[in-house]
Amino acid sequence: MSGLNALLDLAELPDAQVPQTTLNTARLSLMDWLMCGRAGVDEPVSEILRSMADHEGGAPQSAIFGGGRAPARMAALINGATSHALDYDDTHFAHVGHLSVGIYPAALAVGEAGNLSAEAVCAAFAIGGEAAIRVGLALGRAHYERGFHQTATAGAFGATIAAGRLMGLTRTQMRTAIGLCATRATGLRCQFGTMGKPYNAGIAAAAGVECAQLAKAGITAPDDGLFGQNGYLATHSDAPGDIAMVHDVWLLDEMKYKLHACCHGTHAMIEALKGHDIGSVRALHLRTNPRWLTVCDIKTPRSGLEVKFSYAWLAGMALRGDSTGSDRAYTTSLANDPDLATFAQCVKVSGDSALTDMQAAGEIQMQNGSIQAFAYDMATPIPISDLTISLRSKARALLGPTGDELCDALASLDGKMAHGLAAYLEHRA
Amino acid sequence: MSGLNALLDLAELPDAQVPQTTLNTARLSLMDWLMCGRAGVDEPVSEILRSMADHEGGAPQSAIFGGGRAPARMAALINGATSHALDYDDTHFAHVGHLSVGIYPAALAVGEAGNLSAEAVCAAFAIGGEAAIRVGLALGRAHYERGFHQTATAGAFGATIAAGRLMGLTRTQMRTAIGLCATRATGLRCQFGTMGKPYNAGIAAAAGVECAQLAKAGITAPDDGLFGQNGYLATHSDAPGDIAMVHDVWLLDEMKYKLHACCHGTHAMIEALKGHDIGSVRALHLRTNPRWLTVCDIKTPRSGLEVKFSYAWLAGMALRGDSTGSDRAYTTSLANDPDLATFAQCVKVSGDSALTDMQAAGEIQMQNGSIQAFAYDMATPIPISDLTISLRSKARALLGPTGDELCDALASLDGKMAHGLAAYLEHRA
Which pLDDT score is estimated for A198?
96
Together in a domain, A80 and A177: yes
Three-state secondary structure readout of B86-123: CCCCCEECCCCECCHHHHHHHHHHHHHHCCCEHHHHHH
In this predicted structure, the answer to whether residue B262 has a pLDDT above a threshold of 80 is yes
Please, what is the average pLDDT of chain A?
95
pLDDT in tens, A200-243: 999 999 999 999 999 999 999 999 999 999 999 999 999 888 77
Which residues of A fall within a CB distance of 8 Å from B191? 179-180, 182-183, 221-222, 225
Residue B246 is predicted with a pLDDT of 57
What pLDDT shows up at residue A242?
74
Closest CA to B258 of B91, B31, B33: B91
* Residue A250 covered by a domain: yes
Residue A214 sits at the chain B interface (C-beta within 8 Å): yes
pLDDT band at B422 (very low <50, low <70, confident <90, very high): confident
B417 touching chain A per CB within 8 A: no
Residues 124-153, chain B: which have Cβ within 8 Å of A? 146-149, 152
Q: Is residue A108 part of a domain?
A: yes
Rounded CA separation A40/A65 (Å)? 8
- Sign of torsion over alpha carbons A279, A285, A286, A292: positive
pLDDT at residue B104 tops 60:
yes
Distance from CA of A239 to the nearest CA of B (A): 14
- Residue B244's pLDDT is 63
| Percent of chain B whose pLDDT exceeds 70 | 98
Return d(Cα B410, Cα B418) in angstroms, integer. 12
Is there a single domain that holds both residue B320 and residue B409? Answer: no
How close B196 comes to chain A (CA, Å)? Answer: 5
Average pLDDT over residues B13-42: 96
Question: What pLDDT was estimated at residue B245?
Answer: 59
Q: Which residues are bridge partners to B297 per DSSP?
A: B310
Q: Please indicate whether, in this complex, the C-beta atoms of A235 and B45 are within 8 angstroms of each other.
A: no
Q: Which residue has the higher pLDDT, B59 or A275?
A: B59
Q: Say if A65 falls within a structural domain.
A: yes
Closest CA to B359 of B375, B346, B343: B375
Residues 256-285 of B with CB under 8 A from A: none
Per-residue pLDDT for A246 more than 80? no
Q: Looking at the structure, do residues A60 and A88 belong to the same domain, yes or no?
A: yes
Q: In chain A, what percentage of residues exceed pLDDT 70?
A: 98
Side-chain-facing half-sphere of B179: CA atoms under 13 Å: 30
Asked if pLDDT for residue A277 goes beyond 60, the answer is: yes
Q: What is the pLDDT at residue B428?
A: 60
Q: What is the pTM of this model?
A: 0.94
Of A178-192, A206-220, B412-426, give the lowest mean pLDDT range. Answer: B412-426
What are the tens digits of pLDDT across the range B201-222? 999 999 999 999 999 999 999 9
State mean pLDDT over B110-126: 97
Task: Give the tens place of pLDDT for each residue, B341-379.
Answer: 999 999 999 999 999 999 999 999 999 999 999 999 999
Q: What is the mean pLDDT of residues B32-41?
A: 97
For residue A218, give the amino acid letter: G
Whether B189 sits inside 8 A of A152 (CB atoms) is no
A285 pairs with which residues across the strands?
A348, A363
The pLDDT tens digits for A32-49 are 999 999 999 999 999 999
For chain A, positions 347-366, list CB contacts with chain B under 8 A: none
Q: Across the interface, which of A183, A214, A230 has its CB nearest the CB of B52?
A: A214
Mean pLDDT of the residues in chain B: 95
- What pLDDT digit, counting tens, does each position of A377-422 carry? 999 999 999 999 999 999 999 999 999 999 999 999 999 999 999 8
Report the distance separating Cα B192 and Cα A292, nearest Å.
43
Q: What pLDDT digit, counting tens, does each position of A45-72 carry?
A: 999 999 999 999 999 999 999 999 999 9
Our separate counts of H helices and E strands in chain B read 18, 6
Give, to the nearest 10 degrees, the angle between helix A171-181 and helix A153-166. Answer: 150
Query: In this predicted structure, what is the pLDDT of residue A426?
Result: 82
Q: What is the mean pLDDT of residues B314-322?
A: 96
A152–B183 C-beta distance less than 8 A: yes
Q: Do A182 and A301 lie in a common domain?
A: no
Q: What is the CATH number of the domain that holds A70?
A: 1.10.4100.10
**pLDDT reading at B429 higher than 70:** no
Does residue B282 sit in the same domain as residue B392?
Answer: no
- Closest approach of chain B CAs to the CA of A178, in angstroms? 12
Which residue does chain B place closest to A153, by CA atoms? B183
Quote the pLDDT of residue B242.
74
Give the number of A-B residue pairs with CB atoms closer than 8 Å. Answer: 177
**Side chain identity at A143, as an amino acid letter?**
H
A428 assigned to some structural domain: no
Domain assignment present for B428: no
Q: Which residue in chain A has the smallest CA separation from B202?
A: A184
Cβ atoms B265, B357 nearer than 8 A = yes
- CATH number, domain at B285? 3.30.1330.120
CB A109, CB A82: distance < 8 Å? no
Do B222 and B102 belong together in one domain? yes
Whether A191 and B218 lie within 8 Å, measured CB to CB: no
- A221–B184: do the CB atoms touch at under 8 Å? no
Question: Is residue A48 a part of any domain in this protein?
Answer: yes
**Do both B330 and B268 map to the same domain?**
yes
pLDDT higher at A96 or A367: A367
Q: For residues B279 and B137, state if they share a domain.
A: no
- Amino acid found at A357: D
Q: Are residues A7 and A62 in the same domain?
A: yes
Taking only the tens place, the pLDDT of each residue in A297-312 is 999 999 998 999 999 9
pLDDT digits (tens, 9 = 90+) for B156-201: 999 999 999 999 999 999 999 999 999 999 999 999 989 999 999 9
Q: Is the confidence at residue B334, as pLDDT, over 80? A: yes
The answer to whether residues A50 and A68 touch, using CB atoms and an 8 Å cutoff, is yes
Q: How confident is the model over B249-259, as pLDDT tens digits?
A: 899 999 999 99
Full domain range(s) for residue B398: 2-256+384-423
Same domain, B107 and B224: yes
Q: Does A102 touch chain B (CB under 8 A)?
A: no
Across the interface, whether the CB atoms of B221 and A196 are under 8 A apart is answered yes
What's the half-sphere exposure (Cβ side, CA atoms, 13 Å) at B343? 26
B220 within a domain of the structure (yes/no): yes
Question: Is the pLDDT assigned to residue B427 strictly greater than 90?
Answer: no
From CA A350, how far away is CA A288, in angstroms rounded? 6
Binary contact (B57, A52; C-beta < 8 A): no
Which residue in the set B146, B196, B228 is minimally distant from A222, CB to CB?
B196
Cβ contacts of B211 within 8 Å, gap of 6 or more: B156, B160, B163, B164, B177, B178, B180, B181, B184
Whether residue A245 lies inside any domain: the answer is: yes
Nearest in space to A32 (alpha carbons), one of A390, A378, A418: A390
**Total number of domains constituting chain B:** 2
pLDDT at B113 over 60: yes
pLDDT band at A428 (very low <50, low <70, confident <90, very high): low
The predicted pLDDT at position A423 comes to 85
SS (H, E, C) chain A: CHHHHHHHHHHCCCHHHCCHHHHHHHHHHHHHHHHHHHHCCCCHHHHHHHHHHHHHCCCCCEECCCCCEECHHHHHHHHHHHHHCCCCCCEECCCCECCHHHHHHHHHHHHHHCCCEHHHHHHHHHHHHHHHHHHHHHHHHHHHHHCECCCCHHHHHHHHHHHHHHCCCCHHHHHHHHHHHCCCCCCEHHHCCCCHHHHHHHHHHHHHHHHHHHHHCCCCCCCCCCCCCCCHHHHHCCCCCCCCCCCCCCHHHHCECCCCCCCHHHHHHHHHCCCCCHHHEEEEEEEECHHHCCCCECCCCCCHHHHCCEHHHHHHHHHHCCCCCCHHHCCHHHHCCHHHHHHHCCEEEEECCCCCCCEEEEEEEECCCCEEEEEEECCCCCCHHHHHHHHHHHHHHHHCHHHHHHHHHCCCCCCCEHHHHHHCCCCCC
Helices (H), B217-310: 232-236, 267-272, 304-307
Give the pLDDT confidence score for residue B247 in this predicted structure: 60
Within this chain, do residues A40 and A130 fall inside the same structural domain, yes or no?
yes
> Phi and psi of B387, rounded to 5°?
-60, -40
B191 within 8 A of B202, measured Cβ to Cβ: no
Mark whether B173 and B289 lie in a shared domain: no
Confidence of residue A295 (pLDDT cuts 50, 70, 90): confident
